[in-house]
Structures are given as C-alpha cells and as structure tokens.
A and B are shown apart, each in its own frame.
Chain A
Amino acid sequence: MLATLSVETETGLVSKAQQGDRSAFGELVRHYHPVVVNVVYRMCGDVQLAEDAAQEAFLRAWLHLASYRPQSSLRNWLYRIAVNAAMDALRNERGTPGDLESVTAADQHPGPEAELYHRERARQVQRAVLSLSESNRAVLVLREYGDLSYQEIAAALEIPVGTVMSRLSYARNHLRGLLADLEKDYD
C-alpha cells in the first residue's frame, strides 16, 4: 500500500521539481516508484522491460512536468504516462515472451512443493493477464493494481467510463475462463 504523502508536501515537491529541482523530483519518484513499477510490470510481464518502461515513464514525467496541473492527481498522471510507456516498450519488444520465471507468489517461507505450486500459479496468472489485448489489460491493471476508480481510469486512458466498464467486464470474464481452476483452489 502506498504511504500517504500530504497534499501540501506533494504540491510543494511538484512546484520545486517544476522549477528544475532534481532532488524534489527524486522524492516524488521515491514515493511513486513502487506503484508505478508494479503497474508497468503487470502491463509488460517482464522484469527488464518493466524496469526500462518505468525509467522511461519517470523521464517523460520529468521532461513534461511543466504541463502537469496540481488540480489533478499526480499518481493518476504518472499512471497514465506509465501505461503509455509500457505499451511503447511492448511494441518495441513485440514477439518477446514475458519473463514469466520472474513471477512468484507472496508467501514468505514456502516449502519446495508449495514454492513450485505458487510459482506455477503465478506463471499462469501472468500469462492470462498477458493474453488480454493491450487496451483491456491497461484497464484491468489500472483497476486491480493501480487501484484507480472507473472515472480515473477513463481520464487516464481518455476513454468513456462505459468503455472502462465493458473492457473490465470482458477482461475479468476472460481471466475467469483461463484461471477457473486456480480460482477454485484459491477460495
């Protein structure tokens, strides 16, 4: 869960960063990196690709910070850039399968069998997510991993709220079809 950065602190950091203060921007990156890289990773399914896309996303944010208006959410603005950077990274790496080996489950001390099981489960989940089209995946990722509301997703991806709902519904049904067995085990 993302620790809260007070509005005043964030606004102050943004203002300083907009004037070219690198350390203020660094503070913002420090705060938002975990969530941004998670969203990017879910979009890419590959650690190296996600690292590159996250770096690219923050660079774009730095270069275009002047266009950011504090009235809107910085997190959502970053997500929007991050999703676009992830899509670009995927297009550049088209054909390269996701690094599914790098996915694992959250269990802290699993035994060898459990570890194998969780690893396999994680692999299936990530493969299922990657089987979605980019547009459906972006909506799902921003909802499930970015924790954005439908309205925020609509604004981030510049699509109507109705489209968010229909894409999300399609994505979930698709995943349920692919992950039915895992879901049963998971109840």
Chain B
Amino acid sequence: MIEHVTEWLGAYLDGELRGLRLRQVEDHLLECAACHTELEDLRSLSKLLKDTVPAGTLTPTERFVTNLTLNLPRRPEAPQYQKAAEILWRLVPVAVLGAWIFTQTVLAVSTLVSTANLTGLFGNAAAWLQSGPQHTEWFSATLSLFGSNLSGNARALLDVLDDLSIFRLSFTTQLAWQAVIGVLYWIWLAVWWNRRRTITNPYFS
C-alpha cells in the first residue's frame, strides 16, 4: 500500500524539508500522480494568492514616509538611573561567570597543591603547609608564592577570604558554591528571558 506524503507537501513547497524527509517526499512524488497533482494545486493556490494585488489606492511610499516622519512623537528617554541599572543588570552574568571561574581555579590550585604536598613533591619547601593550621592551604600557598610582592589591599582581601574559609579544600563546599552560582545564573537567565519577551514584543494595544 502506498503511503502518501500529503501532510508534508506544504512544507516541501515552502522549502522547509531537509534530509531524509525531503528525499522521501521527492522519491514519492516521482511515482505518485495523486500527490504530484496535490502539490501542483498548492503551487497554484500560492501563485493565485500572490498575484492578487491591491489596487494602487494605497498611499505611495514617499508620501507615507513624509507623513510619518512629520508625525513621529518624541521618544521618551530613559532616566539616568534606569540606564545605570540596565548596565549593572547586564554585568550580573559576567560577575557570576567570573565567580565561577574563580572557584574553579581555586579548586584546581588547591587540589594541585594538596596533591603535590601529599606526594612529597614540595619536599622541605612544603613545611609552610603544616605551619599554619589556622589558615587554608590555598591561603598559605598563595602567601608563600607571592607573600613579599602582595600589596596591602591584596593581602587584606586574602585575609578576608581566608577568614571566611570559603575555599578550604572541601569537595562539598566547592560543590555548594558552584550550585549557588549555578542557581544565581539560572535565576538571572529566567528573569532575562521574561524581560525579553515583554520588551521585544511590541504588542501595545
């Protein structure tokens, strides 16, 4: 029994079929007179619709443009604080991404330092890792590497991060931070999508 492709003929006519479906329809049309006729009917309908044009009673483009540009209302300008808020809003994903890269880097460095220490790669140089149990390994490593070159502000920032114990080498903590960052990002994405739908649909009755 021949399986007709009637339901796909419209899409075929519109050039919307691809791949296997396209080949299936093309092959079928070669051997099925009924579908071929159906396709020609659809083609005729399309031509009939397009060939029926309005009479020349529509305002010519030039006059339309002149009338329109003369009557364009003044566009309300967004207040400064709104513009600033918009810029900040756009920076949120950048900040979230930065936070994610930061935690990932810290995790990688922590793991590296910890592994190197455990395998004795650091030798005596790793003595500092045991010297300050009150500090995180990440903090100690950074201090050891850049201690003398760190500015006052950078050192203060490191102290804060160390005090917060955010970046202790704990898989669960890291996972929790990444989850928080992920959730923040998805919330931003959801709000952005919702705003986009409202803003870009100028369906203003």
The interface of chain A, by Cβ under 8 A from chain B, is 20, 22-23, 25-26, 29-30, 33-34, 37-38, 41, 47, 50-51, 54-55, 58-69, 77, 80-81, 84, 88, 102-106, 121-122, 125-126, 129, 140, 143-145, 149-150, 158, 165, 168-169, 172, 175-176, 179, 182-183, 186-187
Contacts and interface: CB of A to CB of B under 8 A. Distances in A.
B47 A186 contact: yes
A69 B202 contact: no
A93 to B, nearest CB: 14
Chain B contact surface mostly: helix
Interface residues of B, number: 44
Contacts of A168: 10, 14
Given A122-B52, A158-B197, 15 more contacts: A29-B65, A30-B65, A34-B61, A59-B73, A62-B72, A80-B202, A81-B203, A103-B53, A103-B55, A126-B52, A143-B14, A145-B50, A165-B10, A179-B45, A187-B40
26 contacts: A20-B75, A26-B65, A34-B61, A47-B55, A47-B58, A50-B54, A59-B71, A60-B202, A63-B73, A64-B202, A67-B202, A102-B55, A103-B55, A104-B54, A104-B55, A106-B51, A106-B52, A121-B52, A125-B52, A149-B16, A158-B197, A179-B45, A183-B45, A186-B44, A186-B47, A187-B44
Contacts of A176: 41-42, 45
A182 to B, nearest CB: 6
A84 B204 CA distance: 8
B174 to A, nearest CB: 35
The 10 tightest CB contacts between A and B, nearest first, are A64-B202, A67-B199, A26-B69, A84-B203, A125-B52, A104-B55, A122-B52, A33-B61, A183-B44, A30-B65
The listed residue with most A CB atoms (<10 A of its CB), out of B69, B71, B78, B197, is B69
A59 B46 CA distance: 31
B10 A172 contact: yes
Interface of B: 7, 10-11, 14, 16, 40-42, 44-55, 57-59, 61-62, 64-65, 67-69, 71-73, 75-76, 78, 197, 199-205
